Amino acid sequence: MDRTVGQLSPDSCIFCAIVAGQAPAVVVYEDAHTMAFMDINPATRGHVLVIPKKHARDIFDVDEEEALHVMRTVVRVAKAIDKALQPDGVNLIQANRRAAFQSVYHFHIHVIPRWWDDGLVPIWRHQREDPQVLREVAAKIREAIG
């Protein structure tokens, strides 16, 4: 199956261009490690993207330290959205690889304000799973974490 990782080089990365000031963005927050700016095609009004300034392709490529900085900014942005726009809820969404709908290959977290009538739909259906399968899958993941 297609596990394409997309652009590998920061040279051709639109979010790196935004960090460098070479592409426009409507910025809401910036610090030494992170930037937060408005999504150009928002899912709802107030949809913000939070990125590390240092290029990382996706969750598999990002340093844990950089991810910590990103998460700190995500918390700040979510609280600011809640205060400023008073949504009914907020989703954090983060995509890795094409199969998961990643389209920009610079790690980012979507902070999306939600309203009861915003028309968005859940991205998964809850399904019953055999408890034995749960245990087998968990064992594989535990072993991989090390």
Give residues in contact with ligand AMP (CB under 6 A). Answer: 14, 23, 25, 39-41, 49, 95, 101-104
Strands 34-38 and 27-30, sheet pairing: antiparallel
**Using an 8 Å Cβ cutoff, are 47 and 112 in contact?**
yes
For residues 53 and 18, what is the distance between their CA atoms, to the nearest angstrom? 9
Lookup: tokens for 118:
């915003």
Choice among 47, 108, 110, 126 that is catalytic: 108
Least distance (Å) from ligand AMP to the CB of residue 11? 16
Q: How far is the CB of 100 from Zn ion (least distance, A)?
A: 18
Catalytic (active site) residue 108: yes
Q: In whole angstroms, what is the distance from residue 94 CA to residue 111 CA?
A: 9
* Half-sphere exposure in the Cβ direction for 79 (13 Å, CA): 7
Say which entry of Zn ion, ligand AMP, none residue 55 contacts (CB below 5 to 8 A, set by partner kind): Zn ion
Report phi then psi at 42, rounded to 5. Answer: -65, 145
**Residue 13 vs 50, nearer CB to Zn ion:** 13
Instruction: Find out whether 62 and 107 touch, Cβ atoms under 8 Å.
Output: yes
Say how many C-beta atoms besides its own lie within 10 A of residue 79's C-beta.
11
Residues 3-32 vs Zn ion: string with x where CB under 5 A? -------x--x-xx----------------
101's contact among Zn ion, ligand AMP, none, with CB below 5 to 8 A by partner kind, is ligand AMP
At closest approach, how far in Å is the CB of 1 from ligand AMP? 19
Closest residue to Zn ion, Cβ-based?
13
Residues 53-82 binding Zn ion (CB under 5 A) are 55
Tell me the catalytic residues. Answer: 108
